[in-house]
Structure 1
Amino acid sequence: MRKSKVEAAETRRRIVEVAAREFRLNGIHATGLADVMTQAGLTQGGFYRHFESKDQLVAEACAEATKDVVDALEVAASHGDGKEGFKAIVDAYVSTAHRDTATGGCPLAAMGSELARADEQTRAAASRAFNDLVDVLAKRASRRQRETARSDAVFALAAMVGAVTLSRIIEDSDVSLAVLRDVKQHLGAM
């Protein structure tokens, strides 16, 4: 029996959601299509009814993960305005919770090195993710001029992604926490 368009769209959404979680947790190359489809409660054979390739799924999963992160940062920023909103975003992103929850974290921090070597479609999705996150920060940067606020936001995001990535790599828990603390402190001075 054929699925309705609504059911097919829901299945596709579920696959993208699972892929976004699995790619952030295990990496793009270490996560096979069979892994994603099994986690979604489907068979691998059904994958190509929804996607042309794994690359297409990676691009869509990156976009979905970014949307979730942007939404969460917007909520965090809503508790303050201007510089307080900027600080709230930094505090939410550069945190032990983000470090310790790769499945729900930022795709740039979780998959950055793999995204850099991905196909054109996936790199375009990662570039949009970068720009969306920069926009969230730039809206709340303390600088009045748009170009300066955007420059501050680019710097802040690069530091934030680096801090989370490095804090996940470092084995010594005290050093890992120090990375997060130090980056927050420096971004707080902006």
Structure 2
Amino acid sequence: MPYPKGHMEKVRGHIIQSAAKAFRTNGIRDISVPAIMKGAGLTHGGFYSHFDNKDHLVMETCQYAINDTISLLQKAVDQEGQDAKIHSVIHFYLSSYHRDQMEIGCILPSLSGEMIRMSEEVRSAFTQEVQRMIDFFCQLADINHSKGSALLSLLVGTIILARSVHDPELSDRLLASGKQQAFALLES
């Protein structure tokens, strides 16, 4: 009996969602295809019906995860009407909630350190997604590419360090300092 129309796309979406959560939490190298498929409620045997290889999955997952992050940041903007839009993004991105919810947060802090060891194809796809985030910031804040790049670098670096340290007070101070410097960057 054939699958209903749209079944393959739906399954593919479940795999990408599972991969996004897994990559955000564990990185690329420390998560296996069988674990991703299990997270999607599937056996690993069906993986190659949807993707050529793990790199192919990584590229599509990066695109999905950045779409997801931009949507999440846009919701933060929509909920905070009185602040400048980019201020709402900075407050959300450098919040304890975003720091502590790696599985739903921005994928850039989770994967940036691994990208140097990935294939050129994966790095190229990741580069496109970094550019999309910079463009999102530039458009939202009406800033040039240089400031947008610096802002993204500051936010990603801050969240990486805030997640890395064992001292909760230091982590909170890193987030607060990152916010202060992000706002100062916008004013310069």
TM-score (norm 2): 0.91
Q: Aligned residue pairs: how many?
A: 184
SS at match of 1:139: helix
Which position in structure 2 is the counterpart of 1:117? 117
**Does residue 173 of structure 2 align to residue 181 of structure 1?**
no
Give SS of 1:45's match: helix
User: 2:130 matched to 1:130?
Assistant: yes
TM-superposed CA distance for 1:129, in Å, is 1.6
CA RMSD of aligned residues (A): 1.6
In the alignment, the residues of structure 2 paired with residue 170 and residue 155 of structure 1 have an alpha-carbon distance, to the nearest angstrom, of 23
How far is 1:114 from its partner? Answer: 1.2
In the alignment, what sits opposite 2:151? 156
Q: Which residue of 1 aligns with 2:165?
A: 170
**C-alpha distance in 2 between matches for 1:131 and 1:5:** 34
Separation in 1, partners of 2:99, 2:178: 13
Aligned counterpart, 1:49: 49
Percent identity of paired positions between Structure 1 and Structure 2: 33
CA distances 1:19-51 after superposition (whole Å, capped 9, x unpaired): 011111111111101101111111111111111
1:139 aligned residue: 139
Letter in 2 for 1:153: G
Q: Report Cα offsets for 1:43-74 as digits up to 9, x if no partner.
A: 11111111100000011111111100011112
Question: Could you tell me which residue of structure 1 aligns to residue 16 of structure 2?
Answer: 16
Gaps of 5+ in 1: 144-148
Deviation at 1:92, TM superposition (A): 0.9
Matches within 5 A, 1:82-121: 84-121=84-121
In structure 1, distance between residues paired with 2:94 and 2:60: 25
Any idea what the Cα deviations from partners look like across 1:131-172, whole Å, max 9, x if unmatched? 1111121123365xxxxx221111010000000001111111
* Post-superposition CA distance 1:104-137 (Å, at most 9, x none): 1111111111123212232122112211111121
Runs (5+) with no aligned partner, structure 2: none
Structure 1 length-normalised TM: 0.90
SS in 1 for 2:67: helix
Q: 1:5: how far off?
A: 4.7
Equivalent-residue separation in structure 2 for 1:160 and 1:150 (angstroms): 15
